[in-house]
Amino acid sequence: MNLRAYLKLRRQMVDGALQRWLPAENEFPPEIHRAMRYSLFAGGKRLRPILALAGAETVGGKAVDALPLACSLEMIHTYSLIHDDLPAMDDDDLRRGQPTSHKVFGEGLAVLAGDALLTEAFYLLTRTDLMTGVSPRRRLRAIRLVARAAGSLGMIGGQAMDILAEGQKIEGHLLEYIHSHKTGALIAASVAAGAIIGGASEREFKTLRSYGEKLGLAFQVIDDLLDIRGEPRKLGKSTGKDRSRGKATYPAFFGITDSRRQAEVLVEEALLHLRLFPGQANPLREIAKYILKRTN
Ligand code: GRG
């Protein structure tokens, strides 16, 4: 398959739906809606939504049924980036190649834009006029999964430990906790919730969740490596900040070569989970391989 063409089509599908389902820019108060849209449409690979669509299709479901879920995941992800960039957290000036939300709108509106994206994401997930082909039971299960992954037992928990670990000497298991929660949880939930919407059996669901967990951890290990070796122009953000802030990262703990090897092993393990799905998981296969090659 042509991954580049596939990703482009999927990004267009997600972006079109986000345009339709997000409050319009001229909706009162326009400042908050402008701030929400500014970060959401600043670019971004749309990895989490694309994984949700692919998760649904891998188990025989329709991508269109998973589109509200896909959009909600991108909204949650974008909220986490806006808050992560705030002076109280990583204090970054550049994201997705543009000045960060608080640089453009001020800290107050940036906090609120993140809050609103998170809230609207769950509003979207409960819209009964969308996802009409999906039973309420499956929808509810997907919503619960996303909520857990975004909350204090998932992404927020990982982010909290990431902040607390700054400048500290930590154990390897805590490093893995941080990475698998601050980044891995939402990525794993994207594939797993997509699978639920697509009508996965319990076995299919667990297999795709395991694939997502391996992929999510690999994704953050590569992110750590890109912070050292990546090009700011391609990444759309500054590099080298992990080291200067004393962040808990894989390269800081294991070194560059070993970290790279661990990411490769995680992707190999992710691919092994896909043996259950011969042909229909090809997008998930290609995405896993792409994670290792990505430059942004
Ligand atoms: C609630 C105050 C408050 C803050 C929440 C939870 C949180 C802050 C932040 C999440 C942690 C985080 C930002 C992890 C980094 C994950 C990561 C690798 C982001 C980059 O993802 P990409 O490469 O970005 O998919 P694009 O721009 O392509 O979407």
Mean pLDDT by 10 residues, the chain (296 residues): 96 98 97 98 96 98 97 98 96 94 98 98 95 93 98 98 95 96 98 98 98 98 95 90 92 96 98 93 97 92
The reported pLDDT for the residue numbered 22 is: 97
94's enclosing H/E stretch is strand 94-95
How far away, in angstroms, is 78 Cα from ligand 1 center?
A: 7
Determine which residue's CA is closest to atom 29 belonging to ligand 1: 44
Ligand 1, residue 48: give the atom nearest the CA: 25
For the chain, what is the domain count?
1
User: Rounded CA gap, 231 and 239, in Å?
Assistant: 8
The closest alpha carbon to 211, from 189, 237, 183, belongs to 189
Determine which residue's CA is closest to atom 6 belonging to ligand 1: 156
Is residue 165 within 8 Å of 56, Cβ to Cβ? no
The reported pLDDT for the residue numbered 41 is: 97
Determine which residue's CA is closest to atom 5 belonging to ligand 1: 80
How far away, in angstroms, is 213 Cα from ligand 1 center?
A: 16
Ligand 1, residue 45: give the atom nearest the CA: 28
User: Rounded CA gap, 97 and 106, in Å?
Assistant: 18
Is residue 292 within 8 Å of 267, Cβ to Cβ? yes
Buried (b) or exposed (e) across 241-266, using 16+ Cβ within 10 A? ebeeeebbbbbbbbeeeebbebbeeb
The strand pairing partners of 95, in sequence order, are 98
How far away, in angstroms, is 133 Cα from ligand 1 center?
A: 31
Determine which residue's CA is closest to atom 9 belonging to ligand 1: 80
Cis previous bond, 29, omega within 30: yes
Is residue 201 within 8 Å of 165, Cβ to Cβ? no
The parent domain of residue 152 ranges over 3-293
The reported pLDDT for the residue numbered 101 is: 98
Is residue 135 within 8 Å of 153, Cβ to Cβ? no
The reported pLDDT for the residue numbered 238 is: 86
How far away, in angstroms, is 276 Cα from ligand 1 center?
A: 30
Determine which residue's CA is closest to atom 10 belonging to ligand 1: 80
The closest alpha carbon to 74, from 41, 105, 109, belongs to 41
How far away, in angstroms, is 201 Cα from ligand 1 center?
A: 30
- Residue of 83, 107, 118, 181 with the most ligand 1 atoms within 8 Å of its CB, for mutation: 83
The closest alpha carbon to 52, from 13, 3, 5, belongs to 13
Which residues are within 8 A (CB) of 93 and not within 5 positions of it... i.e. 6 or more apart?
A: 99, 100, 103, 238
The domain that contains 266 carries what CATH number? 1.10.600.10
How far away, in angstroms, is 1 Cα from ligand 1 center?
A: 29
- Residue of 84, 117, 118, 217 with the most ligand 1 atoms within 8 Å of its CB, for mutation: 84
Determine which residue's CA is closest to atom 4 belonging to ligand 1: 83
Determine which residue's CA is closest to atom 13 belonging to ligand 1: 81
Ligand 1, residue 47: give the atom nearest the CA: 25
The closest alpha carbon to 146, from 45, 68, 81, 84, belongs to 68
Which residues, judged by CB distance below 6 Å to any ligand atom, belong to the binding site of ligand 1? 44-45, 47, 77, 80-81, 83-84, 96, 155-156, 159, 182-183, 220, 223
